[in-house]
Structures are given as structure tokens and as C-alpha cells.
Amino acid sequence: MEEIIARINEVLKLDIDDNDTLDISRADIISKIIAKDYEWVDIQKAFINILTDNNRSTDDYNVLAQALYYSIAFDKTCNKDILDKDRLIAIINFRLNPFDKPYEDNLAWSLTCDFYTLDYCNSTYNVFRDEKMLSILREYGLIE
């Protein structure tokens, strides 16, 4: 896992997302290149390690969420059924979806809907009202 985290950290340091001449983002690199070299079960462990690190930036969390979304929704490099979706969804929502903000146009909500086959516009599900999700966040010391 240390090797995967080190490679992801290298990618997160790149300043390419706003570069008009490149047609690749940091999330693309993670979802396409790193995913070729490792199994998603192992990548997931690295993602969770980074997502539960309070010293990371919101940008880091967002890039990982984008990489996961690209991998399951577009590239199909990741079989979402092998992942611990509860853990990933709880932590990604905690990092990217403030408790009191609406879900519209939200990457965390898009992942949640995709993982749980929810209607993006009409679902009333709320991660922060789901005791299983809150328990996961408590496990990592993210909430009390």
C-alpha cells in the first residue's frame, strides 16, 4: 500500500489540471495508469488511507473521488462490486459533501447514486442520517 500511496502522492503534486495543452488530469492518471499496475482492492486501501488523513487538502480528496468515478463510470477499469462501497461513500461524502449542503451537481452524490443505484434527482437518502455510515466515520475518528 505504501508504494501505491507514494505514486498517488506524486500525481497529486502535479500541476496539470488547468493546463489547456494537456488532455489529461490527475484523476485520469490515477484511474488509467495507476489502476493498470495495481488491483483495485489495494488501491481502495490507499484511497481510504488518504481520505481519512485530516492533513490532506480538499483538492486531494476531490481528485481521488474523481478517479474513482472515472474508473467505475467511464473507464470501467474498476468493478465497484469488489469495493467496500459503504466505507468509500461514507468517507468521500464526509470530505466533499458538507452536512448542510444540497446534493445537486455534486461528485460525492454522483458516486453515492452510482454505488447504491439511487435516483440522482429524486432520492431522499442521506449519508449523514444512515447510522451505518456514521459508524464508519466514527471508526476513523472523523466524527464523535
Judged by phi (left if over 0) then psi (alpha if -120 to 50, else beta), residue 141 lies in left
Q: 134 pLDDT exceeds 80? A: yes
Residues 91, 97, 103: CA angle, nearest 5 degrees: 130
CB 75 within 8 A of CB 67: no
CA 72 to chain centre: 11
- Cell numbers for 124: 431522499
Residue 43 confidence (pLDDT): 93
CB 70 within 8 A of CB 78: no
pLDDT range class, residue 100, cuts 50, 70, 90:
low
- Cell numbers for 120: 440522482
Q: 102 pLDDT exceeds 80? A: no
Q: 75 pLDDT exceeds 80? A: no
Cα atoms in the Cβ-side hemisphere of radius 13 Å centred on 52: 18
Rounded CA separation 112/104 (Å) = 12
Q: 50 pLDDT exceeds 70? A: yes
Rounded CA separation 32/71 (Å) = 8
Domain boundaries, the chain: 2-139
> Which amino acid makes up residue 90?
A
